[in-house]
Chain A
Amino acid sequence: MSETPTNRAIPDAATQVDIYRRMIRIERNDDLTRQQIRRGRITAPYYSARGQECIPSAISVLLNNDDKICTIYRGIHDMVAKDMPLRPLWAEICGRVDGTCKGKGGPMHLTHPETGVMVTTGIVGSSMPIANGFGWAALLDGTKQVTVAYFGDGASNIGAFHEALNLASVWKLPVIFVCQNNGFAEHTRYENGTSVDFIAKRAAGYGMPGYTVDGNDPLDVYAHAHAAIERARAGEGPTLLECKTFRFMGHVFGDNDAYMTKEEKAAAIEADPLPRFRQKLIDDGVASAEELDALTARIEAEVNDAIDYAMACEFPSDDELRRDVFAEEIPA
């Protein structure tokens, strides 16, 4: 692992509130998604990221709209943090034609280039090699754009991780590899599937800086992401950030968590970063409880509006099976 960067960047008050806004947007969106599934109003495989809100929120405040992300099936929090609009997101989750992918991708393949959500993959590890391509394009275009590749701890054991990090380093690509280490690869405990105690150590093998970050501390994530993004924008190449966190809802909706102890789950939920950060903002005088409550209410209204909108949208026509296979529609 590399030394923690010196001159740690600290978000100003407005940025801290913006991080919190994104965290709440993720949490409200996740909570209402699970509610809609429980009520039988949507049928979809759902991989909750509850507990991991901090990571993309503290990173996204450092990204511009044209900076890109490539994420994975447990990645709706990454998109919500990148400020993807919720109406087309919900319409997609609901399989409607007004969804961002016309109902043809669903929650595992949400795409929204306007907010930089370029690829969402259902294949473990595959966000990384594609992120490199966007990095290469930024070099060719001569822009300062960066691309963030999100993935989980399990993905650091698949070949794509190693090929992608090696190439990114050799080509000095402006890509930030963000591992959201929640301690479990599907149902396998970290230490039973991963050969090193810290994934960040693997960065050394690819000649890039690697940091293990407290993924539940927005300020720690922000400081490390700031350094990594600055490095990428300066043309100095990629960084690996391992953000340690915990997923509260197991691997997939309906998971019974039999592979973890009740105590460790309870301890993780007890240490929920969301109320902790809220309290810190209040204690530091950054925002009042009333302001944060009002923010939460606004966001909850935004999510409910998106749900109502999505439920009223039409399902796609069967003609869609012949569209978007190629640029040219396949004749009936």
Chain B
Amino acid sequence: MSTETLEAPVVETVKMNGLQAINAALSEAMEADPKVLVLGEDIADNEGGGVCGVTRGLSTKFGTSRVRSTPISEQAIMGAAIGVAMAGYKPVAEIMLMNFTTVAMDMIVNHAAKLRFMSGGQSQVPLVIRTMTGGGNQTAGQHADFYEAWFAHTAGIKVVIPWTPGDMKGLYLSAIQDPDPVIIIESVKTLFVPMDTPVNQGPIPLGKANVVVPGSDLTIVSYGQMMFTVMQAVEELTAAGVSVEVVDLRTISPWDKETVLASAEKTGRLLVVHEAGRNFGPGAEIAATAQEVLFGKLKAPVGRLGAPYCAVPFAKKLEDAYLVQPPEIVAEVKRLMAI
């Protein structure tokens, strides 16, 4: 609902979690476009509408020929999605957890991502892969990894990691209509945390970062559920008098260099924080690009925080140590600020 002041229009919001936001995006997309399909394990209502209920109600509304539960066969899921996409449909294929994408890597990397190029543009694979992941639930080494760097390293597939439910909805609406394959990595925490979400959230373009908090001393770039941790740290830093600019990257590949580098140039300091492993993680790419473009303009080396070089551990104590926590971010910011 807009007001008649000169300020930015007030957007009417509603409390919504990620599950509801994705459900709304899929439902709207299927309603608007009969070519949109959904497939994956347990996704139809007969099987419970998805392991977390994201797709609940869709098969009842749109029928089981458009909303198809599949066997636990990730290669078969991705293969079917690729073929049907090449035949003119827009499938949203759920690979329940990010670690399970490893079973379908041949289909995703060798086929979905490359068929347009290898066919000289004759083949189009407009599919969306939905997958969720994230630490904090003691699911240990095979259910919680962030593997976005693998996909960002593969030419031909776009990689999206939304933080807020509103961004989830907006980015899904864009991804479904994108002519190329997109993998959307859903953070488990966002799925269950209700947040203020614009009513009638429309499409949000892929490849555009969001400056969530403006600031002047240092830029933090993050994305996905790590944004919750970053925001906690920023609260503390703000109280301590440090002005942090927070950029939610939202799309990992292709990433919004313009926004990130403009912010880093403005503040003179850059810290990248992600849940994925620090070694060879997206932070390395961002840091390398920042030093290429901003060498001499930065007041401190680019900082990177990410997971240590080990599998996601089970014990709560270890899991807490594995995940970047607010005090580490605060300490790293202070180190970069030399305070």
Stretch in B14-22, B109-117, B283-291 with 4+ CB within 8 Å of A: B109-117
**Measured CA separation A129–B78 after assembly (Å):** 8
| Contact between chains at B80 and A136 (CB < 8 Å) | yes
Q: Within 8 Å CB of B205, what residues of A?
A: none
| Contact between chains at A130 and B156 (CB < 8 Å) | no
| Contact between chains at A327 and B119 (CB < 8 Å) | no
Q: Within 8 Å CB of A164, what residues of B?
A: 75-76, 79
**Measured CA separation A153–B66 after assembly (Å):** 34
| Contact between chains at A101 and B119 (CB < 8 Å) | yes
| Contact between chains at A166 and B73 (CB < 8 Å) | yes
CB-CB under 8 A for A140 and B76, given A130-B83, A134-B84, A327-B180: no
**Measured CA separation A323–B78 after assembly (Å):** 24
Interface residue A99 (Cβ < 8 Å from any Cβ of B):
yes
| Contact between chains at B111 and A126 (CB < 8 Å) | yes
Within 8 A of B (CB), among A170-184: 170-171
Chain B residue with Cβ nearest A108? B118
Interface residue B171 (Cβ < 8 Å from any Cβ of A):
no
**Measured CA separation A25–B126 after assembly (Å):** 35
| Contact between chains at B84 and A136 (CB < 8 Å) | yes
Q: Within 8 Å CB of B65, what residues of A?
A: 139-140
| Contact between chains at A160 and B119 (CB < 8 Å) | no
Q: Within 8 Å CB of B87, what residues of A?
A: 133-134, 137-138, 141
CB-CB under 8 A for A133 and B75, given A167-B70, A327-B124: no
Within 8 A of A (CB), among B76-102: 76, 78-89
Chain A residue with Cβ nearest B72? A163
Q: Within 8 Å CB of B84, what residues of A?
A: 133-134, 136-137, 140
Interface residue B179 (Cβ < 8 Å from any Cβ of A):
yes
Interface residue B196 (Cβ < 8 Å from any Cβ of A):
no
Interface residue A102 (Cβ < 8 Å from any Cβ of B):
yes
| Contact between chains at B110 and A121 (CB < 8 Å) | yes
- Smallest distance from the beta carbon of A129 to chain B beta carbons, Å? 2
Q: Within 8 Å CB of B321, what residues of A?
A: none
| Contact between chains at A118 and B106 (CB < 8 Å) | no
Q: Which of B70, B71, B119 has the most CB of A within 10 A?
A: B119
| Contact between chains at B78 and A101 (CB < 8 Å) | no
Q: Which of A112, A128, A171 has the most CB of B within 10 A?
A: A171
**Measured CA separation A198–B83 after assembly (Å):** 29
**Measured CA separation A101–B115 after assembly (Å):** 10
What per-residue 1/0 map shows which CB atoms of A35-57 lie under 8 Å from chain B?
A: 00000000000000000000000
Chain A residue with Cβ nearest B69? A170
**Measured CA separation A109–B115 after assembly (Å):** 9
Chain B residue with Cβ nearest A127? B79
Interface residue A71 (Cβ < 8 Å from any Cβ of B):
no
Q: For chain A, which range describes its interface: under 10, 10 to 19, 20 to 34, or 35 or more residues?
A: 35 or more
CB-CB under 8 A for A119 and B117, given A167-B70, A327-B180: no
| Contact between chains at B123 and A119 (CB < 8 Å) | yes
Interface residue A285 (Cβ < 8 Å from any Cβ of B):
no
**Measured CA separation A327–B106 after assembly (Å):** 21
| Contact between chains at B86 and A133 (CB < 8 Å) | yes
| Contact between chains at A163 and B73 (CB < 8 Å) | yes
Chain A residue with Cβ nearest B70? A167
Interface residue B120 (Cβ < 8 Å from any Cβ of A):
yes
| Contact between chains at A137 and B110 (CB < 8 Å) | no
Interface residue B51 (Cβ < 8 Å from any Cβ of A):
no
Q: Within 8 Å CB of B76, what residues of A?
A: 129, 132, 160, 163-164, 166-167
Chain A residue with Cβ nearest B104? A129
**Measured CA separation A132–B107 after assembly (Å):** 13
Chain B residue with Cβ nearest A327? B179
| Contact between chains at B73 and A126 (CB < 8 Å) | no
- Smallest distance from the beta carbon of B179 to chain A beta carbons, Å? 4
Q: Within 8 Å CB of A122, what residues of B?
A: 110
Q: Within 8 Å CB of B66, what residues of A?
A: 140
Partner of A326, one of B68, B86, B119, B180: B180
Interface residue B296 (Cβ < 8 Å from any Cβ of A):
no
Partner of B121, one of A135, A137, A171, A324: A324
| Contact between chains at B116 and A105 (CB < 8 Å) | no
Partner of B116, one of A137, A160, A171, A325: A325
Partner of B118, one of A105, A136, A139, A167: A105
Interface residue A210 (Cβ < 8 Å from any Cβ of B):
no
Q: Within 8 Å CB of B83, what residues of A?
A: 70, 118-119, 129-137, 147
Chain A residue with Cβ nearest B88? A137
Interface residue B155 (Cβ < 8 Å from any Cβ of A):
yes
**Measured CA separation A131–B80 after assembly (Å):** 7
What per-residue 1/0 map shows which CB atoms of B41-80 lie under 8 Å from chain A?
A: 0000000000000000000000001101011011110111
- Smallest distance from the beta carbon of B160 to chain A beta carbons, Å? 14
Interface residue B2 (Cβ < 8 Å from any Cβ of A):
no
Q: Within 8 Å CB of B120, what residues of A?
A: 99-105, 111, 324
| Contact between chains at B75 and A134 (CB < 8 Å) | no
| Contact between chains at A105 and B80 (CB < 8 Å) | no
- Smallest distance from the beta carbon of A232 to chain B beta carbons, Å? 15
A-B contacts, 9 listed (Cβ < 8 Å): A104-B119, A111-B120, A111-B122, A129-B76, A132-B76, A164-B75, A164-B76, A326-B158, A327-B180
Told that A136-B80, A137-B87 touch, could you supply 4 new A-B pairs with CB distance under 8 A? A100-B119, A119-B86, A133-B83, A160-B76
